[in-house]
Amino acid sequence: MNGDRCHGLAVAGAAATDRLSAFDSDSVTVTIVTVTSPTPSGPLHGVRVVELVGIGPGPFAAMMLADLGADVIRVDRPGGGALRVAPPERDILGRGRPSVALNLKSDRGRDTVLRLVEPADILIEGFRPGVAERLGIGPKDCHARNPRLVYGRMTGWGQDGPLSSTAGHDINYIAVAGGLDPIGRAGGPPQVPINLLGDFGGGALYLVAGVLAALTHARQSGEGQVVDAAITDGVAHLLSMIVSMQQSGAWNTRRGTNLLDTGAPFYDVYETSDGRWMSVGGLEPQFWAAMEATLAEHGVDDLPDRNDIAQWGALRERLAAVFVTKTQAEWTEIFAPTDACVAPVLPLDEAPHHPHNAARGTYVEHEGLMQPAPAPRFSATPATLTTPPARPGAQTREALAAWGIDDVDELIADGIAVQK
């Protein structure tokens, strides 16, 4: 990515020992799925990917490709990267593929990467524009070895434009793309959606979509190409519905006054008596009617008319007064059997234990880590978790050999490759 960047990613590192009181009942059994390391499978089984390790969206994209069955080889710097969100062995973004450590500034290190490219289908990198070219592993260098290669480039600003060579962080990219200003409450500043919107939504997922689309083309035509995945482009694309609403007069630029930005009291969060929160999302009339009926069963039958915008302030105050009378667990139990679109706001360490997440195996315990399971799901070629995250260079010898590099011992002896 462009420059050294910080990321606000928090990952549940271990299963919580206490279950949520809202989910403790005789009728509900919460089971966390534990998986072992199976043989790789998934819809991308047989696809070979070279990952030149960056941070944030690049590793997430490589993780997703590995989750879906691709054979990914992770090329790290000999000393690892400067920015770490967790110890390498606990960094979930590194799961599912072996790590090799190569000195890319050496001629033999560069040549080793190009030899890895020869049998590969996809390469992904997250350098600033021009860096890969200066290292001798840019698109032209790689396509000279493998014309069918899909060369995926992950940056914040893109490969061209006046900002392309400057440093940036997720917060800067979403700000310029138009994604940050609308998020927040009326009268307050923009609120930062951690790095979900930029790095992972507008960045990594667009890189994955792009390289897989280009791979389809390459297999049909024999022609590889470069995929320029810029976070600014992806975030702008994600804003398509909001842009449509804005141009149709259904969205204004005053933050926190619209239907989906906490402007509507029936699409917001409310604090409970134990300091937790409930999410309310009854947008459609039938769902709001279900909420009204449920509250009426518990003595609340005086909600202001939500169809009268002039009453929205009063409705918000009334809902706040209602929700603060019970705990989150109590409200969860009350609304669970309804279509009122009311759900508890769960902290990361509690989300794996929600009955729905537990039943679907949305989070799994694998190799000592509680982590999100691969997504999406496939009926014929299910994705599986395989190897755990590894230290940079932990599998240099065996991984390079498996990819056909026959002089691994010499590379290690000469310091070009590093086996940790």
**Residues classed as catalytic:** 169, 199
CA distances from 114 to 74, 117, 144, 385, 388 (A): 14, 5, 9, 28, 26
CA distances from 398 to 115, 157, 412, 417 (A): 15, 36, 12, 12
CA–CA separation, 398 vs 100, rounded Å?
9
User: Which residue's structure tokens are 């392309």?
Assistant: 164
Q: Where are the alpha helices (DSSP H) in 239-395?
A: 240-247, 285-296, 312-323, 328-335, 355-360
What torsion, rounded to 10 degrees, do the Cα atoms 123, 128, 130, 131 define? -70
Answer left, alpha or beta for residue 305, where phi above 0 means left and psi between -120 and 50 means alpha.
beta
User: For residue 243, what are the contacts with CB-CB under 8 A and spacing of at least 6?
Assistant: none
> Hey, CA dihedral for 189, 193, 198, 202, is it positive or negative?
negative
- Give me the phi and psi of 165, to 5 degrees please: -95, 0
Burial of residue 367 (number of CB atoms within 10 Å: 0-12, 13-18, 19+): middle
Sheet holding 363-366, edge to edge: 33-35, 363-366, 369-372
User: Residue 397 carries which side chain, given as an amino acid letter?
Assistant: R
**How many whole angstroms from its chain centre is CA 290?**
33
Nearest to 198 by CA among 3, 4, 347, 8: 8
Count of residues making up the chain: 420
User: Residue 204 carries which side chain, given as an amino acid letter?
Assistant: A
